[in-house]
Each structure stands twice: as structure tokens, then as C-alpha cells.
Amino acid sequence: MTKEEKSQYIKDLAVKLSESGVFYLTDAAGLTVESVNQLRERCFKNNIELRVVKNTLLKKALERVEDKNYEELYGVLAGPTAIMFAEVGNAPAKLIKDFRKKNDKPLLKGAFIDEAIFTGEENLDFLSSIKSKEELVGEIIGLLQSPAKNVVSGLKSAGGTLAGIIKTLSEKEA
């Protein structure tokens, strides 16, 4: 790779990092070619972009992103690194956990999710359990609808009772 190619690669990677709200850094070294292909296929099916990168180029790209601070991730940039870009915060963690049922890798090095940084393998269970924005919005809508449904059903049943009382009273007067 020439100097110009490296510079362009770093620039493109920095743009991708700045635009992405979710990315995971993993170590997939030691996987067979067949396993790596299976991992890539699963990533593709789950709308996750998988890239293998050189740590020095990744660090330079992370340093170029002006509006975010990735310093906590610099410590995990050792050994082979693959980046998983995703739109949903827990998708890569779920994919990694599922993939590791049959393989011992990839290992989680670090993750960046909506301004929060997580480092270390011990965060994998937590990251897979967090809810996506869509799931949270769905829960909030459900919670907001529940009291309204109770009020409407209460008014309907009370309205029927009230109508019956008024009808009975009007018949007594007549």
C-alpha cells in the first residue's frame, strides 16, 4: 500500500467512524477460513459490516475524528483487529455470542455505542442484553397506550351503566 493509498484509507475510515453510532472491535485471529466466511455471511445477513484493519491505520483514523473521543479504545489496539459496523447497538454482541456457540472467537476488544465506550470481553453479556432504540420506543409507546386503553374501557363500561341508570330513572318519571 502506497503512502497515498494509506492516507486515503485512513481518511475513508475516519469518515465511516464519525458517521457510525455503533462499532465493535474484535479479535478473530485463529479462525479457519471456513469460520471467517461463516462469520462474514452472518454479518451480512444481520446488516453488520465486517472489516479487518491494521491497528496503526485504525488508531490514526480514530484520532482524525474530531467530534468524538476514542482514547479509551487505543489500549485495545493490539493484535489482529476487525471492526463490526452496525446500526443497532446490540446486534454485533448478539451475533458474537451466537457465533461463539460453535467457535471460541471472535473476542470482544471494545465497543462504541452512541457515545459510550466499552472495553473488554466481560462486557459482551451486557452489550447483548441492551435494548435497541426501536425496542425502547416500542416499550414506551406500549406503556403510554396502556393507561389510555384503561380509561377508554372504563368510560365505555361506566357509560353503559350510566345510560342504563338514566333510562331507568326516565322510565320511573314517566
Question: Tell me: the pLDDT tens digits for 30-50?
Answer: 888 888 889 999 999 999 999
d(CA 124, CA 39): 17
Best CA proximity match to 111, nearest among 103, 100, 122: 122
pLDDT of residue 113: 86
pLDDT of residue 122: 87
Q: Which CATH number fits domain 3-130: 3.30.450.20, 3.40.50.720, 3.30.70.1730, 3.40.190.10?
A: 3.30.70.1730
Mean pLDDT, residues 45-58 taken together: 90
pLDDT of residue 44: 92
Q: How many C-beta atoms lie closer than 10 Å to residue 43's C-beta?
A: 21
Whether residue 86 contacts residue 48, with contact meaning beta carbons closer than 8 Å, is answered with: yes
pLDDT of residue 165: 65
Whether residue 109 contacts residue 119, with contact meaning beta carbons closer than 8 Å, is answered with: yes
pLDDT of residue 164: 65
59-99, pLDDT tens digit by residue?
999 888 888 888 888 888 888 888 999 988 888 889 899 88
pLDDT of residue 157: 61
What does pTM read for this prediction?
0.73
On the 0-12 / 13-18 / 19+ scale of CB atoms within 10 A, 88 is buried
Radius of gyration of the chain (CA): 26
pLDDT at 140 over 60: yes
94-127, pLDDT tens digit by residue?
989 988 888 888 888 888 988 888 888 888 888 8
Whether residue 94 contacts residue 48, with contact meaning beta carbons closer than 8 Å, is answered with: no
pLDDT at 169 over 80: no
d(CA 45, CA 39): 10
Among the residues of the chain, which ranges form H helices? 3-19, 33-45, 55-64, 91-99, 124-129, 133-173
Mean pLDDT, residues 148-166 taken together: 62
